[in-house]
Structure 1
Amino acid sequence: MRPLTNSPATRLFTVTLLMTAVLAACGGGSDAPAPTTPTTPTPEATPVSLRLEKIGSYSTGQYEVSAAEIPAFDAASRRLFVVNAQLGAVDVLDMGNPASPTKIGAIDATTVLAGASINSVAVHNGIVAVAIQAAVKTDNGRMALYRASDLTLLGSVAVGALPDMLTFTPDGNTVLVANEGEPSDDYQIDPEGSVSIIDVRNPAALVERKATFTAFNSQAATLRAAGVRIYGPNATVAQDLEPEYIAVSADGTTAWVTLQENNAFAKLNIASATVTDILPLGYKDHGVAGNELDASDTEGGAITIRTWPGVYGMYQPDALASYTVGGQTYLVTANEGDARAWGEDNAAYWAGDASQGFVEEFRVKHLINRNGWSGRAGDDLPPQLNAMAAGGLLDPAVFGYCGAVAGNPMGCRDDANLGRLNITWTMGYRTNPDGSPMMFTAAGVQDPTGNRLMYDRLYSYGGRSFSIWNANGGLVWDSGAEVEKFLASPECMLGQARNIPCADFFNSGHNEGNAKDSRSDAKGPEPEGIALGQIGNKTFAFIGLERMGGVLVYDITTPTAPVRVDYLNTRNEWVTQPSAANLATVGDLGPEGLVFIPASRSPNGRPLLVVGNEVSGTTSVLQLNLSY
């Protein structure tokens, strides 16, 4: 037979054959489906380890205005959606080339709700969900859906006040929104916290059901006794609980919600839109080995990570994620910590009008001054605290190790000891059987006519750690002091080139230059964001450290025995004070949200981690280089 030539007739014949084959493969050209051969997906290989590498970045050029917060990725359109709080919108980035993300558009919430802004974004199979906060944060917000490929608005629905984080269930049929319900800054309005559960199968007719906490209003005393922090001075339980972050079980039936300020989880039945449990998380004992912390920011450059008997950490997780091992759900939390500070910029509050706010944070040295706290009046003395007593004392039976004696905290007030540590004044003092404060004299003698509180516990903010919990809120594993100890070790290196000793800038702030140890008195490195990624048979946790910066990677395949794998901090300049003018030199600051992109959905075929850095306004693309 004569070979086929490249004539027009030959080309037409070839195209016709190809089209016929394509139609047959798709079931076209016939009413009967084409026969198919079942295939088994090739299992993904399991790596021994991984190493992060920054391969790309997008910068808004905006400094310290939260211009890059929460990222979400759509694989089909290869688009990245990043919450830009500075614009009150979502930046849309083309991720076709992960080494060079490019802005191609934006989602503007004001077309849905006048004066509104966007707090969070999530993506599922080409649908983008956004949480929209009203211009007045105590008003109800909205959740809106957009098509990822062309940003068409598909529908929106009213939700609760201050909708924060939102997420899809695994099947994509439902969106859950954490309605934080935070009070107004002057504490005159306090909406209830809630979780919106929205059927999104028909975007043009969204159906919202609200899981509320009103059924727990009569259980305030029981919840407090169990360890849930219900302490807003004018709040019901439903007003006091402030949903922050949501994780959903693999089967889509159950959700868990962090109640950050309350140091608890809420557990939800999604089908019935019901809060079934409020689970207290307990407290971290910084007095035992393994839970040490650095408590001072004024030690002359020293790093002092040690035990502090009588000091307890409130886990107060921000971000939350779930995964399954052996048929059991486990929850992973970044234990950032958060203090309530309503009215902190209101002069009337500090002048003594307790109705104008509520600030719970106070330094130890001011709380336990033997002369009382009147010297802080008009400065940082909360009126609610001042109304309770004239001063605070430390129990010498607990705090004798740092010098406390009856009526005098002595060396415990020193800046190099506990003096600089920020704590909550709302708990830790002795109480009477009815819950009222037990009074002592200035000499430390119990006396109903006294005017001093006796603290035998001090509670600081956050765990300076990440934790793994079971489905009922039981602690399975906590990183203890490992994060701070690692940052102080010679093993830890900073910068994209990994050539700057972490210890030189231990516990630095994300908006400071040359600020070693500046965050030790507060919440340390502040683990805040978390993302999980499964590669082969292993599950990895990626934890963003908000203040110190960078991303820690742990292999959490075995929930009871996580192993640190890597740490990359892409801040490259640590001495100069960051500003909008030097962002390109300084690098990434303040990681907030993280999203893992598996290799099967990645634009370059490699697993990626995208990080929104709120302080530097940059979105960084990190590649996971796997070793086998």
Structure 2
Amino acid sequence: MKSWHYLGAVTLAAMLAACGGDDNNETDSANETGDSVAEVTPASIKLALSGRYQAGSFDASAAEIPAYDAASQRLFVVNAEAGELDVLDMSVPSAPEKVGSINVSAIAAGAEVNSVAVKNGLVAVAIEADPKTDNGFVAIYQADDLTLLDSIEVGPQPDMITFTPDGMTVLTANEGEPNDDYSVDPEGSISIINATDTGSLTVSHADFSDFTAADLRDAGVRIYGPGASAAQDLEPEYIAVSADGATAWVTLQENNALAKLDIVTATVTDILPLGEIDRSQAGKGIDASDDDEVIDIKTWGGVVGLYQPDAIHAYSANGSTYLVTANEGDARAWGEDNDAYWGEEADDSEDPPVLCEPDASQGFVEEFRVKHLVHTDGFDRRCGDDMPPQLRELAAGALLDPTVFGYCGAVAGDPQDCRDDDVLGRLNITWTAGYKTDAAGDPVMYTAAGVQDDAGDRIMYDTLYSYGGRSFSIWDEDGVQVFDSGDAIEQFLAGDDCKLGSDRSINCKTWFNSGHDESGAMDSRSDAKGPEPEGLTIGVMGEKTFLFLGLERMGGVMVYDITDPTAPIFQDYLNSRELWDGEDPDNGNLAGFGDLGPEGLVFIPASDAPEGKPLLVVGNEVSGTTAVYEVEITE
């Protein structure tokens, strides 16, 4: 019996328990040798780096989403930089080799590849138009010879694509983001493509026209884009499909919700708000500052996290369907590089004086630091710098409710120590929610001294909404949470048992919450979304189901046994970034840095793997690498 010991597994498993797919594999099938491969039920599993393909570019999204075809033993990897799919030979997992590419320029000029899915020897590609606000396309190719079978128009910006389990239907999440100045904001949608006849595709679309902004807001869904209808504001991100292929769930990341889809009728039947994670509760704290260069994970009264999941997968357990989400978080930031949006910085020394005149019609940026939000001098001091004009239209400044934030010194009219860099000052939040409102939803106004007064020009925040859960969650099919990992991921990364590098020789806490595109950056992401769980996939081995969770910023893959949805058990963490201190990776030493910025993941069961051993493949968008890991099994 093969066995291994991983320090900390028992510790974190206990911690997780205290806190509260579309990958298919079949048993006893054959690999390329024709030998029968039995799918055993592991006692536990662990990852080991097997091989890697380097696309040769840094921070250019040259390796994003991988998909695998067992018959041809090929990987299809989204290379957004090249605007195509890289086709890799996986017959030797330790040495994947590029053997071809799929270019989509013939389908639409200037088009980009956003996502890929593979099923039954077919490769489905999601293609974004130029400009992205135009309708996109889906194309179907043969996996073995890369022949284009057909293509069809779908909604704007198809961001993710997947097959139903029977391979007869293809779904795309059409995100429908606005253009940079928000002058064009297409409606989000889900396209349902009948692929029964791959030479003659047909499509239907599920939209959100039956939902109103007011009703969704009342239900707890974030609808907040400037002038947007509900259909424009809802932005589908990622899709999970039930085992019977009848139902899909779609993450609406910026809206902090899920859409539930009846696939047969192409109808969105419900929108499920996900709520918030209360950062005042034990086991749900965060490290909120990137400026203190220390690990300081703790609870914060008045602070909540919006789950805002990116990837989602469905799986079956105990006769029911469950949904797993990677709670990355995301802010809307349109026009942030447009000087007209921010206005020109005021200068009283000029004759005549230069006035700061921002233009709210030129964009929309919702992210703001706490220290800038609640400064006693108000907002105008930041005009022309980073003051969103829509916020300035609300008020001349903002306050913290002293009854909520008194613990960090807030008094009427003055946040005092709460806005210090080593307290809450550096935390990025959304200014669009959390201030006190009246029954009509309008802001309650205060004087600069903190006295409620209709003639006042200040708003008062009693809740600070930060981005992302810094966690993964498991939900039932109606969006009711059955598990959330809370602060367990950050606590593990801060602990002595966590190691970095493919040889596990570097202490994680030395580079806690590092960025994915820089060196020597300990703690640099604590003010934002922490380690940012973004991508995930699920693997079924024997009688157990395992979650593979990619951390976008800190990097690496966390592994859990999620067979019992209410009590996941930590298995392993492997981060195959090799260099952490020294020159930045964009200076040319790409090979030495290893893998940075995991984006998409695909599990390959032993029955489909080239050498009869289960594999995990990860596309790393920052390093431009496709990493292949062997899933080592303890029986």
Class of the TM-score when normalised by the shorter of the 2 chains: over 0.9
- Mapping of residues 320-359 of structure 1, within 5 Å: 320-351=312-343, 352-359=358-365
Counterpart for residue 303 of structure 1: 295
- SS of 1:50's equivalent in the other structure is strand
Output the aligned Cα RMSD: 0.8
- Mapping of residues 174-185 of structure 1, within 5 Å: 174-185=169-180
The Cα of 1:309 is off from its aligned counterpart by 0.6
Q: Does structure 1 residue 169 correspond to structure 2 residue 164?
A: yes
Counterpart for residue 157 of structure 1: 152
Counterpart for residue 421 of structure 2: 415
- SS of 1:143's equivalent in the other structure is strand
Q: Does structure 1 residue 448 correspond to structure 2 residue 454?
A: yes
Counterpart for residue 487 of structure 1: 493
1:220-265 Cα offsets, whole Å, 9 max, x none, are 2121021100001111000000000000000000000000000000
Q: Does structure 1 residue 134 correspond to structure 2 residue 140?
A: no
1:460-495 Cα offsets, whole Å, 9 max, x none, are 000000000000011110000000000000000000
Mapped to 2, the partners of 1:374 and 1:353 lie a distance apart of 14
1:174-195 Cα offsets, whole Å, 9 max, x none, are 0000000000111110000000
Counterpart for residue 590 of structure 1: 597
CA contact (8 A) 2:67 2:75 kept: yes
Mapped to 2, the partners of 1:42 and 1:192 lie a distance apart of 47
- SS of 2:199's equivalent in the other structure is helix
Q: Does structure 1 residue 239 correspond to structure 2 residue 239?
A: no
- Mapping of residues 532-547 of structure 1, within 5 Å: 532-547=538-553
1:431-453 Cα offsets, whole Å, 9 max, x none, are 01111111001111111000001
- Out of 180, 183, 189, the residue aligned to residue 194 of structure 1 is 189
- Residue identity opposite 1:342 in structure 2: W
CA contact (8 A) 1:156 1:203 kept: no
The Cα of 1:559 is off from its aligned counterpart by 0.3
Counterpart for residue 267 of structure 2: 274
- SS of 1:209's equivalent in the other structure is strand
- Out of 598, 602, 607, the residue aligned to residue 600 of structure 1 is 607
Q: Does structure 1 residue 505 correspond to structure 2 residue 511?
A: yes
Q: Against the structure 1 CA distance between its residues 164 and 580, is the aligned structure 2 distance closer, same or farther, given a 3 Å change threshold?
A: farther
Mapped to 2, the partners of 1:323 and 1:580 lie a distance apart of 42
- Out of 524, 540, 543, the residue aligned to residue 530 of structure 2 is 524
- Mapping of residues 378-393 of structure 1, within 5 Å: 378-393=384-399
Counterpart for residue 258 of structure 1: 251
The Cα of 1:290 is off from its aligned counterpart by 0.6
- Residue identity opposite 1:338 in structure 2: D
- SS of 1:375's equivalent in the other structure is helix
- SS of 1:483's equivalent in the other structure is helix
The Cα of 1:44 is off from its aligned counterpart by 2.6
The Cα of 1:525 is off from its aligned counterpart by 0.2
- SS of 1:203's equivalent in the other structure is coil
CA contact (8 A) 1:61 1:580 kept: no
Mapped to 2, the partners of 1:381 and 1:42 lie a distance apart of 60
Mapped to 1, the partners of 2:449 and 2:589 lie a distance apart of 54
CA contact (8 A) 2:37 2:607 kept: no
1:200-230 Cα offsets, whole Å, 9 max, x none, are 01112111000000111xx221210211000
CA contact (8 A) 1:284 1:463 kept: yes
CA contact (8 A) 2:306 2:329 kept: yes
- Out of 566, 571, 578, the residue aligned to residue 565 of structure 1 is 571
- Residue identity opposite 1:609 in structure 2: L
TM-score normalised by the chain length of structure 1: 0.93
Q: Could you tell me which runs of 5 or more consecutive residues in structure 2 were left unpaired when the two chains were aligned.
A: 1-35, 344-357
- Residue identity opposite 2:252 in structure 1: L
- Out of 578, 582, 605, the residue aligned to residue 585 of structure 2 is 578
Mapped to 2, the partners of 1:515 and 1:600 lie a distance apart of 41
The Cα of 1:42 is off from its aligned counterpart by 8.3
- SS of 1:565's equivalent in the other structure is strand
Mapped to 2, the partners of 1:88 and 1:472 lie a distance apart of 37
Mapped to 1, the partners of 2:134 and 2:104 lie a distance apart of 15
- SS of 2:585's equivalent in the other structure is coil
- Out of 108, 115, 123, the residue aligned to residue 113 of structure 1 is 108
- Mapping of residues 610-625 of structure 1, within 5 Å: 610-625=617-632
- Out of 470, 474, 480, the residue aligned to residue 474 of structure 1 is 480
- Residue identity opposite 2:438 in structure 1: N
- Residue identity opposite 2:70 in structure 1: A
Counterpart for residue 370 of structure 1: 376
Determine which structure has more spread, i.e. the larger CA radius of gyration.
1
CA contact (8 A) 1:144 1:153 kept: yes
CA contact (8 A) 2:39 2:606 kept: no
Q: Does structure 1 residue 248 correspond to structure 2 residue 241?
A: yes
- Out of 218, 222, 226, the residue aligned to residue 215 of structure 2 is 222
- SS of 2:149's equivalent in the other structure is strand
- Out of 310, 329, 342, the residue aligned to residue 318 of structure 1 is 310
CA contact (8 A) 1:468 1:477 kept: yes
CA contact (8 A) 1:62 1:580 kept: no
CA contact (8 A) 2:52 2:625 kept: yes
Mapped to 1, the partners of 2:623 and 2:227 lie a distance apart of 37
Mapped to 2, the partners of 1:45 and 1:528 lie a distance apart of 29
The Cα of 1:604 is off from its aligned counterpart by 1.1
- Residue identity opposite 1:408 in structure 2: D
- SS of 2:607's equivalent in the other structure is helix
- Residue identity opposite 1:400 in structure 2: G
CA contact (8 A) 1:339 1:461 kept: yes
CA contact (8 A) 2:141 2:149 kept: yes
Mapped to 1, the partners of 2:218 and 2:419 lie a distance apart of 30
The Cα of 1:580 is off from its aligned counterpart by 5.2
Mapped to 2, the partners of 1:108 and 1:117 lie a distance apart of 9
- Residue identity opposite 2:303 in structure 1: V
Mapped to 2, the partners of 1:469 and 1:189 lie a distance apart of 34
Counterpart for residue 17 of structure 1: none
- Out of 501, 512, 521, the residue aligned to residue 515 of structure 1 is 521
- SS of 1:401's equivalent in the other structure is helix
The Cα of 1:43 is off from its aligned counterpart by 6.1
- Residue identity opposite 1:587 in structure 2: G
Q: Could you tell me which runs of 5 or more consecutive residues in structure 1 were left unpaired when the two chains were aligned.
A: 1-40
- SS of 2:591's equivalent in the other structure is helix
CA contact (8 A) 1:194 1:210 kept: yes
1:49-81 Cα offsets, whole Å, 9 max, x none, are 111000100001100000000000000000000
| Count of aligned residue pairs for this structure pair | 585
Counterpart for residue 17 of structure 2: none
CA contact (8 A) 2:38 2:607 kept: no
Counterpart for residue 36 of structure 1: none
